[in-house]
Structure 1
Amino acid sequence: MKMRSCAVLILSFLSIITFLTTGCLSGETVLQLNDDVLGLIVVKSGLKDPFKSLDSWNEDDESACGWQFVKCNPGNGRVSEVSLDGLNLSGKISRGLEKLQSLKVLSISNNNLTGNINPELALIPNLQKLNLSHNTLSGIIPSSLSNISSLQFLDLSQNSLSGPLPDNMFENCISLRYLSLSGNRLEGPIPNTLSKCTTLNHLNLSRNHFSGNPIFPGGIWSMTRLRTLDLSNNGLSGPIPVGMSAIHNLKEIVLHGNQFSGSLPADIGLCPHMTKIDFSNNLLTGKVPESLQKLEALSFLSLSNNILTGDFPQWIGQMNSLGYIDLSNNGLTGTLPASMANLKSLKFLSLSNNKLSGSINVPYSSLSVVRLRGNAFTGSIPDNLFDMKLDEIDLSRNELTGFIPPATSKLFENLRILDLSGNNLRGDIPAQMGLFSKLRYLNLSWNHLESRMPPELGYFQNLTVLDIRNSGLIGSIPGDICDSGSLAILQLDGNSLTEIGKLENLLIANVSYNRLVGRLPSGGIFQTLDASAIEGNLGICSPILKGPCMLNVPKPLVLDPYAYGNHQHRGNNERSTNSIRHHRFLSVSSIVAISAAIIIAIGVMVITLLNASARRRIAFVDNALESMCTSSTRSANLSAGKLILFDSKSNSPDLFNASLDSILNKAAEIGEGVFGTVYKASLGDQGPILAIKKLVTANTLQYQEEFDREVRILGKARHPNLIPLRGYYWTPQLQLLVSDYAVLGSLQAKLHEPNLPSSSPPLTWPNRFKIVVGTAKGLAHLHHSFRPPIIHYNVKPSNILLDENLNPKISDFGLARLLTKLDKHVVSNRFQSAPGYVAPELACQSLRVNEKCDVYGFGVLILELVTGRRPVEYGEDNVVILSDHVRVLLEQGNVLDCVDLSMGEYPEEEVLPVLKLALVCTSQIPSSRPSMAEVVQILQVIKTPIPNRMEVY
């Protein structure tokens, strides 16, 4: 500070001397040289230099031309360039730079600078390049920068700049060639004066909060010299009109992550130099423009996550330069053209979640990633697909049949992810799979393999997740499957496995509903397993299971897994041999036990038949009585398929049945979940707008009275933080639930869909804390005000709706009560559609649901609210689990580094204990999680003044 003060005084003194001695050439030159030296010394005094990179800058030197990171103009000896990139400098840019009157290049990127941008940078008359990117600068961009008419390169990206851009920002941009303001918090419309930058070649305004529609004739389309245009991840909206052909030199256009709507511009193919097009994550409709096929140089095409329709473009196979194609998450139909085999440069292909059909033909020699998930492809997996050097194969959730092809050594070398789940594959698991040395994720679940697990699966070196549940597996688990130490999650439930192997090193395991017999090992994971992870077997003996230890199961049941009759693919001779072997092993005690079991079974059947007969007689009497009554009862209404409203006396069937077909159509659909599809509807012309959920039919309560009783229990759950259930509609073929419609949408949209109008401005900390508290109170009401408690089962941001005051309203609670049991398919969909929210005891297909599962989901929701991140994020080489990430930061003492900066200022004394509470709620052990009543109490303590606050974690 002392050196800085002296430098400033000297600068002031020399300025006066310079003014008094004007006209003396030699004296002026000396003073000008000192201006450069002293100006840079003042800059140095405002910086912290931990690695002493600027030690060569000495105020005693007569010239700065010999200093490191400084260049001078050899003609006049003045400083012309200062480049301090990546020196780990911190502090602020203070005054002094304005003295460098010959400076043309100033670059201080990739440092830790803070504070505002100094407006006096505009006093440097000849500045051509200004690069302050990748720092932590804040505040607004000073309007004075518009006065630098000589500026050709301006990069202020990756800072924390905020506010709108000055209207006159681009008044004097006649020389500007490169402009990047990406990765800041800038907002508002893009100034119209931008169109005056007629010489601009590169424009990047991505990852801000800009709004409005800058794509209009006379706007960006008038900047005919543009070569790259990136407006991605903003809140820009409106159509993208034709006129792109005016930007004849355009090579890259990136508009993903906005709200652009309407059709793609038909003349997009008239930009002959185009190499990259990314319009993904918008609201674009219509077909893929045919003019695209004219872009012979196009290498990157992404139109994913829009609402595109029509047939898959058959001409795409003619675009030989394509290396990246992503058309996933649209409504495309049709088949893949055989001409795609001509795409010799294609490395990435993602067509997931469309409506494509036909066979899979992908003989593209250069491919690395193939994602065709969630379509209707049929036929078998092409053999040549497993003869390529692929990194990822995802063919899940299609209608593929046949066998899994054997892989060649090419696939061994590279494959990291293989997902063939949700098909109709059969046959053996190829033994070669065990040789995939780089494989990290293998999912063969929900198929019809009906084969043994090859011992070669124990050869995996880097496998982290192995999922082969519900695939008809038989035999034993390879004993050395966990020897590599990398396997963390093993899901084998719903098969017919008979030996458990060595699984001590796992983090998560589920072997429920197999045919396992014997005593569990005492070490490793078996000490912490939940009972639901091993239930449904023949006779596992473990302290975590209630009841006696059943180890006296007859040996034939263990020795021969085919004796159960569910593997009919075996031949008659083998079945005869098995039958003889059974008779050979049966002992007297076994015969006695079997006889007793038969007698008990017959008794149960008789009682069941008697009960059913009694129910029929009672139902007959009830119906006869109802037919004699003048007024219809509740059961009569149900049998007639009427709409039942809990708080209305009008239950006329005409009010609902007349418009039922118009309600349950695709246009009225507003959401879909594991329990059913939600539609927007109104009761009558003047009736209120309601949300109608059409329940899945699998395992729904089949008796009208049971359904009515459970729904009415849910209807009594009234609380300020719950979406009330208004009524229902029931027929044997159709069950609907009626609830209030939320106009402002869900917390999911507010947090993770910044392109939606309802999600801006960002949530402040007081609003986020209010959402946390309100959600906790709503869940506590469900858990503690009903017996048995109402379990939500599906706590996540998409089920938290917001009213006009940002008060949270929990929706879709207690729907598991309407099922006779939690169908495994429903549980699987729950896990796949909401990764990260599912408690560990449920993630592995356990069917046990309790309040602690809701507490886990609530903890993940807190983490999302505080960090603004999703619970699971997939990178190119890793998967980030949010709870684990925050827990590591807490242990390192840097947990506040994960706080979402978009919410502005926040009190650390509140945010820190809330984060700790979230980690307690997401404990791997259910008993370690607090109840929701305790959570509410803790949150109330956190909100109290600091002297009365207790430590949470």
Structure 2
Amino acid sequence: MRAFLKMKRLIEFFILFVLAPLCARCVNLSLNGDVLGLIVFKAAVQDPKLKLASWNEDDDSPCNWTGVQCSPRSKRVIELNLNGFSLSGRLGRGLFQLEFLQRLSLSNNNLTGNISPNFARVDNLQVIDLSGNNFSGVVSDDFFRQCRSLRVVSLANNKFSGKIPDSLSLCGSLISVNFSSNQFSGSLPSGIWSFSGLRSLDLSDNALLGEIPKVIENLYNLRTLNLSKNQFSGHIPDGIGSCLLLRSIDLSENSFSGNLPQTMQKLVLCSNLILGRNLFDGDVPEWVGEMKSLETLDFSRNNFTGRIPTTIENLQYLKVLNLSSNGFTDSFPESVMKCQSLLALDLSHNLIMGNLPEIGSLRKLQILSLSGNYFVGSLPKTIGDLKALSILDLSGNQLNETIPVAIGGAVSLIELKLDGNFLRGEIPFSIAHCSSLTTLFISHNNITGPIPAALAKLSYLQNVDLSFNNLNGTLPKQLSNLPNLLVFNISHNNFKGELPGGGFFNTISPSSVTGNPSLCGSVVNKSCPSVLPKPIVLNPNSTSDSISSSLPPSNNHKRNRNILSISALVAIGAAAFIIIGVISITILNLRVQSPTSSSSAAALALSVGDDFSNSSSPDANSGKLVVLSGELDFSTGAHALLNKDCELGRGGFGAVYHTILRDGHSVAIKKLTVSSLVKSQEDFEREVRKFGIVRHQNLVALEGYYWTPSLQLLIYEFVSGGSLYRLLHEASDDNVLSWNERFDIILGTAKGLAHLHQSNTIHYNIKSSNILIDRNGQPKVGDYGLARLLPMLDRYVLSSKIQSALGYMAPEFTCRTVKITEKCDVYGFGILILEVVTGKRPVEYMEDDVAVLSDMVREAVEEGRAEECVDRNLRGSFPMEEAVPVLKLGLICTSHVPSNRPDMREMVKILEMIKCPSELQEELG
């Protein structure tokens, strides 16, 4: 064997260092360098599944070999992907000859030994993935000496030890680092915290130590941070709040301590926050409810105290809540009952007391653990409504009522643990309906009566502990038919008679039956008295199925009704307000259509070409024209004002016309139709001038206005691209907006609204028909501030006039006691986001139902189907890592509680951070 290995090495050396240069000089075939390098690599490994069978040293090029990819132009090897090829052995020198190699993946094999620092000689390497092997030893500091091109490195799931090389700090282009599940120790290279492009950092399951520095704020592109299962310590720095794109944080199983920094509430995109098994203390802050994207919240095994914060109810996407093994006090937090997406709830081993709540509203719950607390009373009667519940652990409390028959409704139960309480009564026969049950612990209670024979129907039972109760009677013989029993402990009860024979009971431990004086059989060393068989007596009044006849009536005849969501009810209520408002406005407009007003309009239409000027005139017929922007020439062209052919559309405040002035300048003129509601001329001009000076590239500019007592005109810049509504819902299949166009529209709209709010102007009327698109595809927000022209912000008028597009209206419009603020705009913007991403209208009316977009998206996101919400016209042509966070942001904006909605400046910042550079997409693609 040694001679063979020696000969093999000589052959490798000959090929690589003698034959290759010789061939290059004689034949000048540069591609042979790649061929020879790969052949030498193949010679150094074992290939039991012959995955490398296509690698033939006689080929002129390796570009058709399995796992090899070449550049279309140079025909040189740029990628080697041997993931999961079952290769073993060591890495030879051959790979270092692939001088144009960009991506190397040898993951999930059985490769061993050290990794050579010669990898640093391959200048073009962008991706190195050696995860899932058996590499060991120290990683040389030279390994990262020449890493200027390196973007992704993974050494995960190996046996590397020692320090992480300081030379890693030289790799400033890294976007993903994964050194998890090794034996690395010591502190981290300080340069890691300056990688501004880093998106994923996973150092979990090592022996690393140190603190997270304040400069973590430099990692503003970071999406995933996993430092779990190490020896890190200290406080979490405030700088973590600057990492606005963080979606997953796992710091569990370390020695972090202190309070949580308040800046963490800015991490509104974070879906996983796992801090279990640390030394954090104090109260869990109320602001945790601001992290509205949370799906997993794990603060288990810390030193938190006080009450569980009520703001938990704001976490509508929360699926896992684990606060176990802390010092929480008071009663069960009712706020948790509003987290209806919960799949797992663990509050075990705290100091919580009082009665258990009715938990039937948590219909999706699969795991409920409240053990080790001080709960009293009975199990919830609604326990049977939890059809998905698989684990129920209420052990170690002070429950003192009976086990409800309703427990049989929890048909998916796998584990039921009620031990260590004061439960009384009998084991309900309905437990037979829990057909998947494997674990049944009811020990150390005051349970009486016999073991129901129905228990023998639970064929998956493995572990049963009924010890230390007052159970009596004989054991059902059918128990011997249970095929999977491992433990059946009935010790310290009052059972009598003979143990069942056969199966598990032939080898049952004596300790499992001790403490039952009246039991007999070989296991307890007590012979059973002979008993003559009783005569059979048939009861003519008995039923064929005593168990089923005594069960509660089934619920198979439920009424099949469609129950409208809260948002749908709001929409219907708003529709009623609209009808009332439209009737009111119509009556008011009819009242102002006097001969005087008609003549004024007619005079304007006839004389507008001569009377419009840049001077102010109080004359009622010619009116007062004020130009706010530049030198507009109104000497011609305005004759088209009342021409139906030039009408662009009609909205809540009036019709809009397109007019071209003599100098070729296009303007849009809005003719207001709420004359009787408009304020006095003085108030009108003051308000118009306020939002007339608000200028921003994403706002439609107001260029002037015209006033008479019976006619008011607003003169805007003309935006040629039409409305967002038309582009989303009326465009042909050839003109569908791309994802980048949609994202730019969302971001631009957010910037426009943020500027409005900074200028103390509330829009009140956010909807897609009020977002105009210019020739460059940039959005411009129109119709802002018009509500300020009304003498008072009457909610019925607002509902009918400016909230005419149902679905955008914030819930507070229907409540007179809630103040109308800029958060109304945020709500409408959230609906707009959902409309742009999905391509669907905010409200769809069907034959016998109302479909509310926000409800549909929220349900899909909660069920993990967010990608299904994206407009079908975009399938396959959008980045999921942008679309899903944008959808979630839209849902956060549509919170029914105004204070829970972010402000528009925060929205702009988050949207800018979400946008992923195209080159990074290609890199990760």
TM-score (norm 1): 0.53
Q: Could you tell me which amino acid in structure 1 is paired with residue 17 of structure 2? A: S
**Change in 2 beyond 3 A, CA 1:348/1:549:** closer
Aligned with residue 537 of structure 1, among 502, 511, 517: 517
Cα deviation, 1:442-500, whole Å, max 9, x if unaligned, reads 01112222222211112110101111112211211111113022122111112111123
Post-superposition offset of 1:329: 0.3
**Change in 2 beyond 3 A, CA 1:288/1:18:** farther
- Indicate if the aligned counterparts of 1:267 and 1:291 stay in contact, CA closer than 8 A: no
Distance in 2 between residues matched to 1:65 and 1:532, nearest whole Å: 68
Aligned with residue 17 of structure 2, among 7, 12, 16: 12
Distance in 2 between residues matched to 1:544 and 1:433, nearest whole Å: 29
Aligned with residue 249 of structure 2, among 234, 239, 253: 253
Post-superposition offset of 1:13: 2.8
Distance in 1 between residues matched to 2:235 and 2:226, nearest whole Å: 17
- Indicate if the aligned counterparts of 2:225 and 2:248 stay in contact, CA closer than 8 A: yes
Post-superposition offset of 1:538: 4.2
What's the counterpart of residue 451 of structure 1?
A: 449
- Indicate if the aligned counterparts of 2:498 and 2:521 stay in contact, CA closer than 8 A: no
What's the counterpart of residue 174 of structure 1?
A: 172
Cα deviation, 1:141-182, whole Å, max 9, x if unaligned, reads 1222322210111010000000112222222x2211110000
- Indicate if the aligned counterparts of 1:157 and 1:182 stay in contact, CA closer than 8 A: yes
What's the counterpart of residue 399 of structure 1?
A: 398
Corresponding residue SS for 2:69: strand
- Indicate if the aligned counterparts of 1:318 and 1:340 stay in contact, CA closer than 8 A: no
Q: Across the two proteins, how many residue pairs are aligned to each other?
A: 523
Distance in 2 between residues matched to 1:265 and 1:75, nearest whole Å: 53
**Change in 2 beyond 3 A, CA 1:402/1:174:** same
- Indicate if the aligned counterparts of 2:202 and 2:225 stay in contact, CA closer than 8 A: yes
What's the counterpart of residue 76 of structure 1?
A: 74
What's the counterpart of residue 296 of structure 2?
A: 300
What's the counterpart of residue 264 of structure 1?
A: 260
Post-superposition offset of 1:541: 6.2
Corresponding residue SS for 2:263: helix
Distance in 1 between residues matched to 2:260 and 2:201, nearest whole Å: 21
Post-superposition offset of 1:250: 1.0
Matched, 1:525 2:507: yes
Q: Could you tell me which amino acid in structure 2 is paired with residue 248 of structure 1? A: L
Post-superposition offset of 1:536: 5.7
**Change in 2 beyond 3 A, CA 1:525/1:14:** closer
Aligned with residue 217 of structure 1, among 202, 205, 214: 214
Post-superposition offset of 1:401: 2.4
What's the counterpart of residue 284 of structure 1?
A: 280
Corresponding residue SS for 2:64: coil
Distance in 2 between residues matched to 1:58 and 1:425, nearest whole Å: 74
Distance in 1 between residues matched to 2:519 and 2:8, nearest whole Å: 81
Distance in 2 between residues matched to 1:535 and 1:193, nearest whole Å: 66
Corresponding residue SS for 2:384: helix
**Change in 2 beyond 3 A, CA 1:486/1:10:** closer
What's the counterpart of residue 154 of structure 2?
A: 155
Q: Could you tell me which amino acid in structure 2 is paired with residue 295 of structure 1? A: M
% same residue:
35
- Indicate if the aligned counterparts of 2:300 and 2:323 stay in contact, CA closer than 8 A: yes
Post-superposition offset of 1:5: 3.3
Corresponding residue SS for 1:40: helix
Aligned with residue 140 of structure 1, among 133, 138, 141: 138
Cα deviation, 1:97-155, whole Å, max 9, x if unaligned, reads 12111111110000000000121111111111110000000011122232221011101
Cα deviation, 1:56-86, whole Å, max 9, x if unaligned, reads 1111111000111111000100011111011
**Change in 2 beyond 3 A, CA 1:121/1:315:** same
- Indicate if the aligned counterparts of 1:531 and 1:544 stay in contact, CA closer than 8 A: no
- Indicate if the aligned counterparts of 1:259 and 1:283 stay in contact, CA closer than 8 A: yes
Post-superposition offset of 1:20: 6.2
- Indicate if the aligned counterparts of 1:488 and 1:505 stay in contact, CA closer than 8 A: no
Corresponding residue SS for 1:161: strand
- Name structure 2 gaps, 5 residues minimum: 532-925
**Change in 2 beyond 3 A, CA 1:497/1:101:** same
Q: Could you tell me which amino acid in structure 2 is paired with residue 276 of structure 1? A: N
Q: Could you tell me which amino acid in structure 1 is paired with residue 167 of structure 2? A: N
**Change in 2 beyond 3 A, CA 1:91/1:543:** closer
Cα deviation, 1:615-655, whole Å, max 9, x if unaligned, reads xxxxxxxxxxxxxxxxxxxxxxxxxxxxxxxxxxxxxxxxx
What's the counterpart of residue 89 of structure 2?
A: 91
Q: Could you tell me which amino acid in structure 1 is paired with residue 18 of structure 2? A: F
Q: Could you tell me which amino acid in structure 2 is paired with residue 217 of structure 1? A: K
Q: Could you tell me which amino acid in structure 2 is paired with residue 525 of structure 1? A: T
**Change in 2 beyond 3 A, CA 1:469/1:73:** same
Aligned with residue 309 of structure 1, among 280, 291, 305: 305
Post-superposition offset of 1:16: 4.2
- Indicate if the aligned counterparts of 2:499 and 2:520 stay in contact, CA closer than 8 A: no
- Indicate if the aligned counterparts of 1:126 and 1:150 stay in contact, CA closer than 8 A: yes
TM-score (norm 2): 0.54
Cα deviation, 1:389-433, whole Å, max 9, x if unaligned, reads 211000111111222122476522x21000111122222211121
Corresponding residue SS for 2:504: coil
Structure of higher CA gyration radius: 2
Post-superposition offset of 1:216: 1.5
**Change in 2 beyond 3 A, CA 1:178/1:134:** same
Distance in 1 between residues matched to 2:83 and 2:374, nearest whole Å: 52
Distance in 2 between residues matched to 1:248 and 1:317, nearest whole Å: 22
- Indicate if the aligned counterparts of 1:466 and 1:489 stay in contact, CA closer than 8 A: yes
Kindly indicate whether structure 1 or structure 2 has the higher relative contact order, using CA contacts under 8 Å at least 6 residues apart. 2
**Change in 2 beyond 3 A, CA 1:395/1:503:** farther
Cα deviation, 1:250-276, whole Å, max 9, x if unaligned, reads 111100011111122222211121110
Corresponding residue SS for 1:334: coil
What's the counterpart of residue 875 of structure 1?
A: none
- Indicate if the aligned counterparts of 2:89 and 2:112 stay in contact, CA closer than 8 A: yes
What's the counterpart of residue 351 of structure 2?
A: 355
- Indicate if the aligned counterparts of 2:373 and 2:397 stay in contact, CA closer than 8 A: yes
- Indicate if the aligned counterparts of 1:7 and 1:38 stay in contact, CA closer than 8 A: no
Distance in 1 between residues matched to 2:367 and 2:523, nearest whole Å: 46
What's the counterpart of residue 343 of structure 1?
A: 339
* Structure 2 counterparts to residues 762-781 of structure 1, below 5 A: none
Distance in 2 between residues matched to 1:269 and 1:195, nearest whole Å: 21
Post-superposition offset of 1:543: 8.7
Aligned with residue 105 of structure 2, among 104, 107, 110: 107
- Indicate if the aligned counterparts of 1:395 and 1:420 stay in contact, CA closer than 8 A: yes
Post-superposition offset of 1:52: 0.8
Distance in 2 between residues matched to 1:532 and 1:225, nearest whole Å: 59
- Indicate if the aligned counterparts of 1:424 and 1:448 stay in contact, CA closer than 8 A: yes
Post-superposition offset of 1:196: 3.0
Corresponding residue SS for 2:264: helix
**Change in 2 beyond 3 A, CA 1:369/1:536:** closer
Distance in 2 between residues matched to 1:330 and 1:9, nearest whole Å: 66
- Indicate if the aligned counterparts of 2:142 and 2:167 stay in contact, CA closer than 8 A: no
Distance in 2 between residues matched to 1:450 and 1:539, nearest whole Å: 17
Distance in 1 between residues matched to 2:103 and 2:34, nearest whole Å: 14
- Indicate if the aligned counterparts of 1:386 and 1:405 stay in contact, CA closer than 8 A: no
Q: Could you tell me which amino acid in structure 2 is paired with residue 318 of structure 1? A: N
**Change in 2 beyond 3 A, CA 1:195/1:498:** same
**Change in 2 beyond 3 A, CA 1:16/1:485:** closer
Post-superposition offset of 1:285: 0.9
Post-superposition offset of 1:243: 2.3
What's the counterpart of residue 436 of structure 1?
A: 434
Q: Could you tell me which amino acid in structure 2 is paired with residue 454 of structure 1? A: P
Corresponding residue SS for 1:393: strand
What's the counterpart of residue 496 of structure 1?
A: 494
- Indicate if the aligned counterparts of 1:176 and 1:200 stay in contact, CA closer than 8 A: yes
Q: Could you tell me which amino acid in structure 2 is paired with residue 308 of structure 1? A: F
* Structure 2 counterparts to residues 684-833 of structure 1, below 5 A: none
Post-superposition offset of 1:300: 0.4
